[in-house]
Amino acid sequence: MHAMSRGIDKKSPIISKIIKKANELAGEKFEEETPITSLSGGQYSA
Question: What pLDDT score was predicted for residue 7?
Answer: 78
Q: In b/e form, how buried is each residue of 6-21, taking b as 16+ CB within 10 angstroms?
A: eeeeeeeeeeeebbee
Q: How many domains does the chain have?
A: 1
Domain that holds residue 28: 2-45
Question: What pLDDT score was predicted for residue 40?
Answer: 72
- 3 state SS of 9: coil
pTM higher than 0.85, yes or no?
Answer: no
Tens of each residue's pLDDT in the chain, 46 residues = 667 677 777 677 888 888 888 888 887 887 777 777 777 776 666 5
Question: What pLDDT score was predicted for residue 9?
Answer: 73
